[in-house]
């Protein structure tokens, strides 16, 4: 990235706050975008972005940030004297975006409204326009300015295309003549839809959105800890039947039935254990540690998860829990196959 561009983007971040502070600050709630994100065919993890995408007022907001600039082909500069944000259209050249590791936890954001901001677009061809933001506000969070995704599509100069599916995520094309739907993965969406249906079959109180969020949390934990997501889902089925707030008579809490004492070792409170993603991540970490301790022995790892490593180390444990989980895992896989989800 050119020195000139870096300087401009740093200036945008620094000047952002001085420009906003002349107005009364209005804070809103931005829900983290946890689904898949594909930009010009490149899979981007929202967890790996310093300025992640979020949802506000049922609208996806995209940062005009350095992280995504080379991938989307849009560079941004701000003139706070005239309160003008200028987007310059260039060629999208990057094949990756964000860090190689997670830099945010997926928590909700608290963006602030940037009032009275005019947004203009320019291209090297000489074409230019002023974007019609309508009733949707320009927002700011984590030092970046955010715009509603739809304005990039409605722009005659940018003319982006995007395709959204709740069981997959968001695909964006900034390239002319390339449909965003071409980056959509129907096989993956169908597989995810099958997992959602399976979970809702066993917990009819689950909404589609809650079940989908669980599916993406299971898949994220699978990638991060190297544990098969179907094994994690099988544990959730056995332990809580997909009820994230259940507390057992023995005191185990949440989707994966973690004991509060165990959670404390991860810096997690009993109340936080009722958050599905937190519960899933602790369970995946425990299983990964078990596999490492027992040289890849799945039965011992699952048994240590259920009874504690002390009993497994002493040989004083039953393999019934592990056998049941593996049977459930096979059953989930069979369910997906029998019902056309894979």
Q: Are 312 and 209 a contacting pair, CB within 8 Å?
A: no
Q: Could you give the CA distance from residue 156 to residue 168 in angstroms, rounded to a whole number?
A: 28
The pLDDT confidence band at residue 9, using thresholds 50, 70 and 90, is very low
Q: Could you give the CA distance from residue 175 to residue 148 in angstroms, rounded to a whole number?
A: 19
Q: Are 120 and 85 a contacting pair, CB within 8 Å?
A: yes
Q: Look at residue 216 and tell me whether its pLDDT is greater than 80.
A: yes
Average pLDDT over residues 18-41: 83
Q: Are 303 and 318 a contacting pair, CB within 8 Å?
A: yes
Average pLDDT over residues 323-342: 98
What is the pLDDT at residue 24? 64
The pLDDT confidence band at residue 23, using thresholds 50, 70 and 90, is low
Taking alpha carbons only, the member of 291, 289, 263 closest to residue 278 is 263
Average pLDDT over residues 312-319: 96
Fold annotation for 186-338: Lysozyme (1.10.530)
Average pLDDT, the chain: 92
Among 1-15, 231-245, 253-267, the range scoring the smallest mean pLDDT is 1-15
Taking alpha carbons only, the member of 242, 186, 234 closest to residue 214 is 242
What is the pLDDT at residue 76? 94
The pLDDT confidence band at residue 75, using thresholds 50, 70 and 90, is very high
What is the pLDDT at residue 200? 98
The pLDDT confidence band at residue 98, using thresholds 50, 70 and 90, is confident
pTM attached to this predicted model: 0.89
pLDDT digit string, tens, across residues 138-178: 999 988 999 999 999 999 999 999 999 999 999 999 999 99
DSSP-assigned letters across all residues of 313-328: HHT---SHHHHHHHHH
What is the pLDDT at residue 4? 46
Q: Look at residue 2 and tell me whether its pLDDT is greater than 90.
A: no
Q: Look at residue 14 and tell me whether its pLDDT is greater than 50.
A: no
Q: Look at residue 6 and tell me whether its pLDDT is greater than 70.
A: no
Structure tokens at 323: 């056998």
Q: Look at residue 260 and tell me whether its pLDDT is greater than 70.
A: yes
The pLDDT confidence band at residue 125, using thresholds 50, 70 and 90, is confident
What is the pLDDT at residue 7? 46
Q: Look at residue 70 and tell me whether its pLDDT is greater than 70.
A: yes
Q: Are 137 and 57 a contacting pair, CB within 8 Å?
A: no
Tell the burial category of 58 from Cβ atoms under 10 Å away from its Cβ (0-12, 13-18, 19+).
Answer: exposed
Percent over 70 (pLDDT), the chain: 93
The pLDDT confidence band at residue 94, using thresholds 50, 70 and 90, is confident
- Residue 32: CB atoms within 10 Å: 17
Extents of the domains making up the chain: 3-183, 186-338
3-state secondary structure 16-27: HHHHHCCCCCCE
Q: Look at residue 247 and tell me whether its pLDDT is greater than 70.
A: yes
Length of the chain: 342
What is the pLDDT at residue 100? 81
- Residue 70: CB atoms within 10 Å: 19
pLDDT digit string, tens, across residues 179-211: 999 999 999 999 999 999 999 999 999 999 999
Average pLDDT over residues 280-289: 98
What is the pLDDT at residue 22? 55
Taking alpha carbons only, the member of 287, 200, 282 closest to residue 273 is 282
């Amino acid at each position: 990235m050119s020195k000139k561009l870096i300087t401009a983007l740093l200036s945008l971040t620094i000047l952002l706050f001085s420009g906003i502070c002349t107005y009364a600050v209005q804070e809103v709630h931005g829900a983290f975008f946890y689904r898949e994100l594909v930009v010009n065919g490149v899979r981007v993890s929202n967890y790996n972005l310093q300025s992640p995408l979020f949802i506000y007022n049922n609208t996806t907001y995209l940062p005009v940030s350095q992280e995504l600039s080379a991938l989307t082909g849009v560079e941004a500069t701000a003139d706070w004297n005239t309160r003008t944000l200028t987007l310059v259209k260039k060629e999208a050249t990057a094949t990756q975006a964000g860090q190689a590791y997670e830099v945010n936890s997926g928590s909700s954001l608290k963006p602030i409204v940037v009032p009275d901001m005019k947004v203009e677009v320019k291209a090297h061809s000489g074409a230019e326009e002023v974007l019609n933001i309508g009733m949707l506000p320009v927002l700011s969070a984590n030092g970046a300015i955010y715009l509603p995704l739809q304005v990039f599509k409605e722009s005659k100069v940018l003319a982006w295309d995007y395709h959204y599916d709740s069981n997959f995520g968001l695909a964006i094309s900034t390239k002319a003549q390339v449909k965003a739907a071409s980056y959509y993965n129907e096989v993956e969406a169908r597989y995810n839809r099958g997992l959602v249906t399976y979970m809702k079959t066993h917990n009819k109180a689950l909404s589609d959105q809650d079940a989908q969020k669980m599916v993406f949390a299971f898949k994220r934990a699978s990638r991060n800890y190297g544990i098969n997501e179907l094994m994690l889902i099988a544990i959730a089925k056995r332990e809580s039947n997909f009820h994230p707030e259940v507390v057992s008579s023995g005191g185990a809490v949440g989707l994966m039935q973690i004991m509060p004492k165990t959670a404390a070792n991860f810096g997690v409170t009993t109340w936080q254990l009722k958050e599905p993603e937190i519960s899933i991540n602790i369970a995946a970490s425990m299983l990964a540690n078990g596999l490492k301790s027992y040289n890849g022995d799945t039965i011992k790892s699952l048994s240590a998860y259920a009874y504690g490593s002390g009993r497994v180390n002493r040989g004083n444990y039953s393999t019934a829990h592990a056998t049941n989980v593996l049977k459930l895992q096979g059953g989930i896989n069979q369910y997906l196959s029998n019902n056309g989800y894979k």
